[in-house]
Amino acid sequence: MARVWNFSAGPSCLPEEVLKECAAEMMDYNGTGQSVMEMSHRSSAYEPIIQDAEAMIRKLMNVPENYKILFVQGGGSTQFAMVAQNLGIKTGKAAYIETGVWAKKAAQEAAKLGVEVTTIASSKDKNYSYIPKVEKIEGDYDYAYICLNNTIMGTHYEYLPETGDIPLVADISSCVLSEPLDVSKFGLLFAGAQKNLAPAGVTLVIIREDLITDTPRKDTPTMLMYKTHAENDSMYNTPPCYTIYVLGKVLHWIEKNGGAEGMLKRNQEKADYLYNYLDNSDFYRATAEKGSRSLMNVPFLTKYSTGAEDEESVAKEKAINSKFVKEAEAAGFMNLKGHRLVGGMRASIYNAMSLEGVKALVDFMEKFAKEN
């Protein structure tokens, strides 16, 4: 069977070049006679793999020397708790900007753990279709928290709030290495790997060393202390070895294709092509407002999505969306069903998705619009 165009929001498509390399090494990695899947994480064969992955993150993201790079487990959702437990310890207060589901869940988790959460801005009034402008954050907060790219809503920060001495924490799960990012402006960054870096299973954390504390919030489990992972080079317990191995290969692919700057150029071209089509279409429309649009996730609705709640309108919208997704799958365009909170469709066009794939999608969308 031929490869499909995979527009999944995550786990997402990986570079074919990387998949082929992994397949070729599946039974015998580097002359060891074994797969990376089955080798000991303490072995001399595996040690260079995780060291190379860390070195490539530091290189591609220009990570300053006073930051630790950690590979942990539990996904971004576990980071909601780890951030609160490890950083919310001086005043016990934190500022959150609510721009969608994941920022809201992060705030809720922090509050559950006893942090006094202040939602200083929100875009809930327009179903999170824009990024609220917060130029400066002041106060006695232990940290300020943002979700840099909102996968479900298709929005992205085109600015960073000025936080002064308040450490800025960002969830960059769905935009990591899709563009250059000044790590020094943040106290902590984290990213689930399954969007732009690797298969699901490993979470990247980049944390400024002064934020790694011996005394996190009371009763913090050992595995939820950044200190545990920093002191043990991400090897306190068995890490997700194979996922880190694939991550390393993806990082080398990114380097070969121009690094973060090359990814930005590639992603801007894809996003511009899709948004330009949507903005000039009489049949479709993008849901995210201009000035807040993600380069990675593009939700869109059809002309039947009027927002009316009468039974006839809702039925028409569901029918046309279902038809679109079904016909798209038959044509080789997978995972385009939109999230229930937005409706319609969503095309996730992460680093590994090519311009060819986006152009093919637009051709299908145009054909579908003419027929419906």
Establish whether 195 is a catalytic residue: yes
Strand, coil or helix: 352: coil
Establish whether 282 is a catalytic residue: no
Q: Which residues contact 167 (CB under 8 A, 6 or more apart)?
A: 87, 142, 143, 144, 186, 187, 188, 208, 211
Catalytic, out of 68, 142, 195, 270: 195
Catalytic, out of 5, 68, 142, 171: 171
Cα angle: 5, vertex 6, 10; to 5 degrees = 170
Q: How far apart are CA 279 and CA 269, in angstroms?
A: 15
- Which DSSP string do the residues of 34-55 spell out, in sequence order? S-GGGS-TTSTTTHHHHHHHHH
Strand partners, 96: 119, 145
Q: How far apart are CA 42 and CA 222, in angstroms?
A: 20
Q: For the chain, how big is the Rg over CA atoms in Å?
A: 21
Establish whether 326 is a catalytic residue: no
235 touches 53 (CB < 8 A): no
Select from 235, 192, 220 the least CA-distant residue to 79.
Answer: 192
Instruction: HSE, CB side, 13 Å, CA atoms: give it for residue 168.
Output: 22
Catalytic, out of 5, 68, 102, 270: 102
205 touches 69 (CB < 8 A): yes
Please name the amino acid found at residue 283.
Answer: F
Q: Which residues contact 86 (CB under 8 A, 6 or more apart)?
A: 211, 212, 213, 216, 217, 220, 224, 225, 226
DSSP strand E in 157-257: where?
168-171, 188-192, 203-208
294 touches 147 (CB < 8 A): no
Q: How far apart are CA 199 and CA 254, in angstroms?
A: 16
Select from 52, 42, 55 the least CA-distant residue to 238.
Answer: 42
84 touches 217 (CB < 8 A): yes
Strand, coil or helix: 230: helix
Which residues are tagged catalytic? 102, 171, 195
